[in-house]
Amino acid sequence: MTTTGSDRPALDVTDMIAVHRVFRDTLGRAAAVIGAVGDGDIDRAATVANFFDNILLFLHVHHQGEDDLMFPVLRQRCPDQRELIDRVASQHGDADEKVAAAEGSLRAWSANPGAEAKRCAAAMNALGGHLEAHFADEEHALLPLCAQHLSAPEWGALPGHAMASFTGDKIWLILGLVADRMTAAQRDDMFAHMPPPVVDMWTNFGRQAFAHLVAQVDPPLRVPAAELP
């Protein structure tokens, strides 16, 4: 068993990879989804744009949680890795610029799907390409530090922060996309630590709404092997 410097078992931080896969998968499919919308199909464009708006808002709170809760702890406990930590953290600023460009392009495209499709797809691809490099840095260099130097409550604060700070209108979409990419054990743990009202929302409404929306927007975004609770 891998242990930390304090001889306690290292944390399992692989749930972060499931979150990263949400962005990899949705942004990786964005150009195809946008390109499949007909030139004059304003209603479908609005549905697709709202879908991706929620993804971008989730990315914002995901990065904000790392900025507020993860990077400061790593800087304090891993002073010899300060340059690495600061380099990866600085990538969030570059992502913010690309997110702003993607948000603007989604608004323009949803109002004029035909003329703005290529520009919108390019903006989403640019964000996805940047995030792929950023996620690789986090997963290969920073997640091992988190596993060694963060406590379970500190790591567990990240999803709670994201849920509390999320300003989109479809939190059930985010829950479903993340859960789809987790192992069964990770999903069980995630739902076990959710507030009861959130679990009730997911059980009574969110699960069905998620399945319907993803099937409507782009069925390949589902992970076929996942069995949601």
pLDDT in tens, 199-228: 999 999 999 999 999 999 998 888 754 455
pLDDT higher than threshold 60 for residue 149: yes
pLDDT higher than threshold 60 for residue 6: no
Q: What is the CA radius of gyration of the chain?
A: 18
**How many other C-beta atoms are found inside a 10 Å radius of the C-beta of residue 103?**
18
How many Cα atoms are found within 13 Å in the side-chain-facing hemisphere of 22? 23
As given in the structure block, the two tokens for residue 9 are 């078992």
Cβ contact 179:163 at 8 Å: no
pTM: 0.92
Average pLDDT of the chain to the nearest whole number: 91
Cβ contact 81:74 at 8 Å: yes
- The one-letter amino acid code at 31 reads A
Type and span of the H or E element at 98: helix 82-111
Domains and CATH numbers, the chain: 15-221 (1.20.120)
pLDDT in tens, 87-97: 999 999 999 99
What integer pLDDT is reported at residue 64 of this predicted model?
96
What integer pLDDT is reported at residue 7 of this predicted model?
58
CA distance 98 to 82: 25
